[in-house]
Amino acid sequence: MPQFKYSGRDNAGTLVSGSIIAPSADDVAAQLFGDRVTPIDIKEVRENKRKASQSTSRKKLDLGPNATAIDKINAVLSRNKIEVDELIMFARQMYSLTKAGLPLDRAIKGLEASLSNLVFRRILQDVIESLENGMNLASALGQHPQVFSQLFLSLVHVGENTGRLDLAFREISKYLELEKNTSKQVKSATRYPLFVMAAIAVALGVITVFVIPVFADTFDRLGADLPWQTMVLVNISDFAVNYWPLMLLFFGGSVFGFKYYVRTEAGRLNWDRRKLGAPLVGAVFEKIALARFSRTFSMVMGAGVPIVQGLSVVAGAVGNAYVARNVNGMREGVERGESLYRTASNSKMFSPLVLQMISVGEETGMVGDLLEEVADFYDDEVAYDLDRLSDAIEPILITFIGGLVLILALGVFLPIWDLNTAANG
């Protein structure tokens, strides 16, 4: 996301300046007006300059004179790997320290000294250095977008400007905790099916490469006429044994091509759209996206973020490119003067429950509170659907395994039965 430098005047006429990370200059202007600052000049920081400054700051960071070779190896191996648990703990500790009135630089220095993750320590060292150079906390954290999300930065920015930074960190910790729980539920629901599929793949590989060739060689020496089921298995086994390098190359190329395609804007959009319509799991993905939309939008509205900027933040937090495009379409509709309910209805993305809550919220001025209830409802629905997912997948896996066993049994035992019949006849 681009970074913009701005200058403007506050209500007292004092000249103020700084930097903000936002999708566009219009979003920066909207954010400044929301902070009661009249912008005078807004300029985008060029990407190459920003990268150069970030790389320079990284070079200044070190692990300290007492760092051992093991520490350096761990730092290289764990590069850019900061777990969500560490971010949750950081947000909780920052909430406690800022609530106690501790200055930001002292609070972050204390946290940095207690961290065991060397990568996170280097990032916080960079943040401390930026704070000492006069940068605000949101901009200092924004120099590391791979760690701190747009939602994280927006809430920190609002907290700084409203004087309630402690509440901002409290809301961030709650949001990250909910995201962590959702991720754990998804992994728990998919662990059993993935384990079964992996076991099936290994068993098929062993049978195809080692077992079937032995049977084929035996039948060939006996001169038996093999049934078509056995011939199919033998031909598949011969192909796998003779052309396994090409199969590995094809499989690796397919995986690489898919990942490359998904990284493109069109590929990511198409893949995320298809995920929402996938059988069994599509409804779960849709409810997860709606829960994130509702909770994130509730948080930014409750924090006092302007609705146009808030929708930009929500688009970057839903985790689905197709849903994000529709949310950006809503933002454009609101900029044209349309109501939030109308833009949400035109997107054809939201359920009647969400639309009803948005409509009532606009009439009562309680959009944030009602969307928080919607988020709680969808979180419960996601947990229920994930519990049912294993029950729904289990009969499908049993049927699939039964079909494979039937094919293998027919292919292997039919010729044995034919040979036994011929010998007895």
Query: Is 319 a residue whose pLDDT tops 70?
Result: yes
pLDDT per residue as tens digits for the range 110-120: 888 888 888 88
Q: Which amino acid is at 68?
A: T
Q: What is the per-residue pLDDT for 270?
A: 93
* Residue 229 counted as domain residue: yes
* Residue 255 counted as domain residue: yes
Query: Is 417 a residue whose pLDDT tops 90?
Result: no
Residue 404 · residue 236 · CB < 8 Å: no
Q: How far, in Å, CA of 372 to CA of 299, rounded?
A: 8
Which CATH number fits the domain that encloses residue 306? 1.20.81.30
Q: What is the per-residue pLDDT for 56?
A: 40
As a whole-number percent, the residues of the chain with pLDDT over 90 amount to: 9
Residue 304 · residue 34 · CB < 8 Å: yes
Q: What is the per-residue pLDDT for 253?
A: 94
User: Facing residues of 19 across strands?
Assistant: 5
Query: Is 341 a residue whose pLDDT tops 50?
Result: yes
Q: How many other C-beta atoms lie within 10 A of the C-beta of residue 140?
A: 25
Number of domains in the chain: 1
Q: What is the per-residue pLDDT for 49?
A: 45
Q: How many other C-beta atoms lie within 10 A of the C-beta of residue 142?
A: 25
Q: Burial level of 27, CB count in 10 A (0-12/13-18/19+)? A: buried
Q: What is the per-residue pLDDT for 52?
A: 41
Query: Is 103 a residue whose pLDDT tops 50?
Result: yes
Answer yes or no: pTM beyond 0.85.
no
Sequence-ordered list of residues with C-beta below 8 angstroms from that of 420, at least 6 positions apart, any chain: none
* Residue 395 counted as domain residue: yes
Q: What is the per-residue pLDDT for 41?
A: 77
Higher pLDDT, 276 or 215: 276
Residues 292-308, mean pLDDT to the nearest whole number: 82
Residue 281 · residue 389 · CB < 8 Å: yes
Confidence of residue 259 (pLDDT cuts 50, 70, 90): very high
Q: What is the per-residue pLDDT for 57?
A: 42
* Residue 276 counted as domain residue: yes
Query: Is 255 a residue whose pLDDT tops 90?
Result: yes
Tell me which residue of 153, 170, 145, 155 sits closest to 93, measured CA to CA.
170
Beta 15-21 vs 3-9: how paired, if at all? antiparallel
Q: What is the per-residue pLDDT for 54?
A: 46
pLDDT per residue as tens digits for the range 140-196: 898 888 888 877 887 888 788 777 888 889 888 988 888 888 888 888 878 888 888
Q: What is the per-residue pLDDT for 75?
A: 55
* Residue 99 counted as domain residue: no
Mean predicted lDDT score pLDDT of the chain: 80
Q: Which of 108-112, 400-404, 408-412 has the lowest mean pLDDT?
A: 408-412
Q: What is the per-residue pLDDT for 396?
A: 84
* Residue 154 counted as domain residue: no
Q: What is the domain range of residue 359?
A: 177-425
Higher pLDDT, 374 or 27: 374
Q: What is the per-residue pLDDT for 70?
A: 58
* Residue 62 counted as domain residue: no
CA Rg value for the chain: 29
* Residue 329 counted as domain residue: yes
Q: What is the 3-state secondary structure (H, E, C) of 93-105?
A: HHHHHHHCCCCHH
Q: What is the per-residue pLDDT for 66?
A: 55
Q: What is the per-residue pLDDT for 260?
A: 93
Q: How far, in Å, CA of 161 to CA of 141, rounded?
A: 15
Confidence of residue 69 (pLDDT cuts 50, 70, 90): low
Confidence of residue 1 (pLDDT cuts 50, 70, 90): low
Q: What is the per-residue pLDDT for 58?
A: 44
Confidence of residue 68 (pLDDT cuts 50, 70, 90): low
Q: What is the per-residue pLDDT for 410?
A: 77
Q: How far, in Å, CA of 260 to CA of 52, rounded?
A: 26
